[in-house]
Structure 1
Amino acid sequence: MTTTKIAFIGAGSVVFTQGLLADLFAFPDLQDVHIALHDIDAERLATAHGAARHIADRQPVRGGAAPHITAHAERREALEGADFVINIVQVGMRESTRTDFDVPAGYGLRQTIGDTLGIGGIFRALRTFPLLKSLGEDIAEVCPDAWLLNYTNPMAMNIQYLTRATGLTRVVGLCHSVYWTMRDLSALLNVPYEEVTYLAAGVNHQAWMLRLEHNGTDLYPRLDALIADDPQLRRRVRVDMYRRLGHYPTETSEHSSEYVPWYLGHDSEIERLRLPVGAYLGIVDENVAEYEKTRDALASGAPLSVEATAEYAPQIIHSITTGTPRTVYGNVPNHGLIDNLPASGTVEVPCLVDALGVQPTRIGSLPAQCAALNRGYLSMNELVVRAALEDDPRSVRQAAMMDPATAAALPVERIWDLCDDMVRAHADLLQPSLRATLGH
């Protein structure tokens, strides 16, 4: 029997890599997999390798099976013969993320997370696209039958670009927002998660809870009652959006606030809804501190504390390799899945996973108001992807003009000036055709 090989690209994201490996090794069927770790940072790669060995060694060995773990400075070597490729690369790391916040802040533009839409999302995508193209080309050559499981944000833009630029079809973007939204709603409603039936669909970080039931009973009236009785619940962006749009959004208030024009541009709304402007910079610093803690623990021989993640990638790998059917939420091209969203965009829908692979579910049409908001999101994505595919720097500025939060905060000339400054700041990471400054 051939051993399943899983390549981790960007394995130096050590904390996330550890959680995924803990989930993988917890499956008895996957204890003899080959884990091939790749990162361009030698120290981070060595740390990831040591952490992986630590996690593997602490798993109970069943039937003599044990994972084979290798580390590779060369990406193609890691990919050779892979059955699954997990992409967790963050191009530019902390320095580029800080740029994504600091330069727009100089224009008075507020962001909270900056990894999906907005100026931060646009330029995170543009510096990620060259990596995605070269990764896709390598996969097509050395492991063409592999499934590419992408965690790198901005999810929807990355999947749209990757599939159009490389022609790969075994691609799915994975995010935990639907799962944790349902976990949080179940706790809020005091209903066991395992007993809740739900259906969500839309776009990544802005999907909608279309059905929410317990034993066949609609849970939305119970949620309405809780919100009516609790003023603090009404001080959440996602609750405010739910009250006005009629369907609960599947991402946190911090994320949701910067995908729409209604909140971050107003001091009163920032206060009312307790919005943490610039919050992601603190998260990035925490991630670096966690990496350094792991590195130092391995060097000293101290034990590592690793928690399971309940992420979808290990579940997908287990379902495809064993034929065990599961439903996960995936980000895939909208090939007839949601009728009232653009066919060229990436949508988030439930997917059946079994030995045949990842099979998205056709949803039909979203509620009109939800689709209207999603269409604005996907229209901006289309312009960013077009900028890269057609070597068109004007499309970058046009994408920023169409972004709801950016358009609400700045006049058009300042938007173009901001894009020029962002191009200058990120120039070495962008494809050459997009490094031009255009003025206004």
Structure 2
Amino acid sequence: MKKDRIKIVTIGGGSSYTPELIEGYIKRKDELPIGEIWLVDIEEGKDKLEIVGNLAKRMVKEAGLDWEVHLTLDRREALKGADFVSTQFRVGLLDARIKDERIPLSHGVMGQETNGAGGMFKAFRTIPVILEIVEDMKELCPDAWLVNFTNPSGMVAEAVLKYGKFEKVVGLCNVPIMHNMMESKVIGKKPEDLYFQYGGLNHHHWHRVFDREGNEVTEQIMDKIFNQDENTVQNITSIPFFEEQIRDLGMLPCAYHRYYYLTDDMLKKELEEFAKGETRAEVVKKVEAELFELYKDPNLKEKPEQLTKRGGAYYSDAACELISSIYNDKKTDMVVSTRNNGALADLPYDCAVEVSSIITAAGPKPMNFGKFPPAERGLLQVMKAMEEVTIEAAVTGDYGKALQAFTLNPLVPSGKVAKVILDEMLVAHKKHLPQFKNAIEKIENTL
């Protein structure tokens, strides 16, 4: 039975992305009978929570809405009786991301937030925290939906399903929406005039596109994008794919596939940025500082345009539309990370995949994607195995499992280099890796 007033909690409420979220709720004020919005953060994020929280209150007031906006450092208090819980936190804040990027690059290895060594370490830090949140939800709001935007989104969703034993979780990413917007535009269409069929993993999917008459227009889009700058993601260098390779795939790749199809070129660019102290994390930290200066302005009552530089475009459209679709049983077609349930025949039935799904009151219903051709299938299966081992390492703190994950990852050289990077990153992040305490002490004793 639908409630007359719903309570939404955002963990990581002090994030610079929060105005996107508030804007999305306001846009859907006639669909979502919101009574309370709780923004939650930790002590280290208290100042940012106050700044962005007060902007959120001004935005709600400017929209003429009577929603209560609460700011708190008490997660359990916020979760009591919640209907939806969204997560957008970063364990270790942006300084941890800087380490994720700079340490691998210092060894001549790819450093990126969700790919390679950096992505695995983000999972190591994040998964234990999301599982703690899930335990609180089971006690305080067992019927609530967990809407996760925290990266690595797919691995987080799988950890919740497998180790948290919590079914009401959906992983979200704005990348598919950005592809939809760009690709429809290049052939003179609106996104709603096309059907996008996605399958794969978070930041590692492929897709095909069809028009309203049922004609596939994937090749038509390829014709256009190979003649112009087709980058769709703010934080990825726009190095052109090899046309022959993409046409052979028969599907459009994710922007993040550049790290796997163009590894040498992407690494060269990252090393140039690293040498100048301009890794993406360092750039984002500057952009975020500028955003919070804007947010402090008591006259600001709407999301500033500069937020698009942060890489969060269409964030609200993903998170808020998902919540509205579940609440209203809208059966919206969305790309989400959810349990496979056989939608991707080449991956385990119970793993998390990113796939086109129908969003119902009972959650996502993934649409059958079928089997992949060998080129996609081989890479996909390696990446899924890497994710599974990474998640197990994050949960258990097993050093051998962590090294195994590093060895599986295509962006990390196996052997001595992998072990050196793993050890250095474990020590650098030890404050946020209590599960690896024994392994870290052993490493430090040999230094």
Give the TM-score, by structure 1 length.
0.87
Choose which of 393, 396, 405 in structure 1 pairs with 2:402. Answer: 396
Mapped contact 1:99–1:425 kept (Cα < 8 A): yes
Residue 35 of structure 1 and its aligned partner are, at CA, apart by 0.5
Deviations 1:13-57 (A, max 9, x none): 0x3111111111222132543111111122122123211111111
Greater mean deviation of Cα atoms: 185-194 or 130-139:
185-194
**Aligned equivalents of 1:358, 1:279: Cα separation in 2:** 32
**Aligned equivalents of 2:123, 2:360: Cα separation in 1:** 31
Residue 366 of structure 1 and its aligned partner are, at CA, apart by 2.5
Mapped contact 1:392–1:434 kept (Cα < 8 A): no
Residue 150 of structure 1 and its aligned partner are, at CA, apart by 0.2
Greater mean deviation of Cα atoms: 70-79 or 430-439:
430-439
Choose which of 192, 208, 212 in structure 2 pairs with 1:210. Answer: 208
SS at match of 1:373: helix
Corresponding position of 1:29: 31
Which residue identity lines up with residue 245 of structure 1 in the other structure? Answer: L
Residue 178 of structure 1 and its aligned partner are, at CA, apart by 1.1
RMSD of aligned C-alpha atoms? 2.8
SS at match of 2:180: helix
Which residue identity lines up with residue 106 of structure 1 in the other structure? Answer: S
Corresponding position of 1:420: 423
C-alpha change, 1:90 and 1:227, in structure 2 (3 Å) is: closer
Corresponding position of 2:335: 329
Mapped contact 1:265–1:405 kept (Cα < 8 A): no
Which residue identity lines up with residue 52 of structure 2 in the other structure? Answer: A
Mapped contact 1:260–1:405 kept (Cα < 8 A): no
Greater mean deviation of Cα atoms: 118-127 or 324-333:
324-333
Corresponding position of 2:258: 257
Corresponding position of 2:282: 281
C-alpha change, 1:154 and 1:302, in structure 2 (3 Å) is: closer
Choose which of 54, 60, 64 in structure 1 pairs with 2:58. Answer: 54
Mapped contact 1:334–1:344 kept (Cα < 8 A): yes
SS at match of 1:153: coil
SS at match of 2:81: coil
Residue 168 of structure 1 and its aligned partner are, at CA, apart by 0.5
**Aligned equivalents of 1:34, 1:265: Cα separation in 2:** 44
Deviations 1:302-349 (A, max 9, x none): 444446835222112222223333111110122322111133532011
Mapped contact 2:218–2:252 kept (Cα < 8 A): no
Greater mean deviation of Cα atoms: 241-250 or 259-268:
259-268
C-alpha change, 1:260 and 1:155, in structure 2 (3 Å) is: farther
1:43 maps to 2:44: no
**Aligned equivalents of 2:242, 2:193: Cα separation in 1:** 23
C-alpha change, 1:292 and 1:343, in structure 2 (3 Å) is: farther
**Aligned equivalents of 1:433, 1:270: Cα separation in 2:** 29
Greater mean deviation of Cα atoms: 283-292 or 302-311:
302-311
**Aligned equivalents of 2:221, 2:429: Cα separation in 1:** 44
Alignment of 1:209-228 (within 5 A): 209-213=207-211, 215-226=213-224
Mapped contact 2:55–2:300 kept (Cα < 8 A): no
Residue 356 of structure 1 and its aligned partner are, at CA, apart by 3.0
Residue 424 of structure 1 and its aligned partner are, at CA, apart by 0.5
SS at match of 1:217: coil
1:236 maps to 2:234: no
SS at match of 2:264: coil
Deviations 1:216-239 (A, max 9, x none): 332233234335656999952386
Which residue identity lines up with residue 195 of structure 1 in the other structure? Answer: D
Residue 262 of structure 1 and its aligned partner are, at CA, apart by 3.9
C-alpha change, 1:240 and 1:264, in structure 2 (3 Å) is: farther
SS at match of 2:107: coil
Choose which of 147, 150, 154 in structure 2 pairs with 1:149. Answer: 147
Alignment of 1:351-430 (within 5 A): 351-407=357-413, 412-430=415-433
Residue 425 of structure 1 and its aligned partner are, at CA, apart by 0.2
Deviations 1:234-286 (A, max 9, x none): 95238675234221113x2xx33334574347759999xxxx98334313321
Mapped contact 2:20–2:303 kept (Cα < 8 A): no
Greater mean deviation of Cα atoms: 414-423 or 342-351:
342-351
Mapped contact 2:76–2:136 kept (Cα < 8 A): yes
Runs (5+) with no aligned partner, structure 2: 232-237, 306-312
Mapped contact 1:26–1:59 kept (Cα < 8 A): no
**Aligned equivalents of 1:258, 1:392: Cα separation in 2:** 27
SS at match of 1:353: strand
Mapped contact 2:346–2:372 kept (Cα < 8 A): yes
